[in-house]
Amino acid sequence: FDTVTAVVTGNTYGFTTSVSPASYDDVTVGAAPVALPFAVSITGEVPASTIDQSFPMTLEIYGDGSTLLGTEDITVVVPATL
């Protein structure tokens, strides 16, 4: 693939997300696994609650912007505070 990118999907909660690095270039996918580490940052605020709150999202990895190469579930857990 010329470029491999990662995007956070399912963020319907208003969090700010970023992925670093933005992409990897000239990635050859074959029989051997290829490690492409991405760092995901998720920030935001939610109202306090008496119960733990969970916010599921998904990290999707794409080759050349259209071929889905893999996914990773992400869950942000905000502990109860009231």
Write out pLDDT tens, residues 51-76.
999 999 999 999 999 999 999 999 99
| pLDDT over 90 at 50, yes or no | yes
Residue 9 has pLDDT above 80, yes or no: yes
Give the angle subtended at the CA of 43 by the CAs of 7 and 36, to the nearest 5°. 35
What average pLDDT does range 17-24 have in this prediction? 97
Query: What's residue 12's pLDDT?
Result: 94
DSSP string, 14-58: --EEEEESSEEES---SSS------EEEEE------SS-EEEEEE
Judge whether 80 and 51 are in contact, CB under 8 Å: yes
pTM score, whole prediction: 0.88
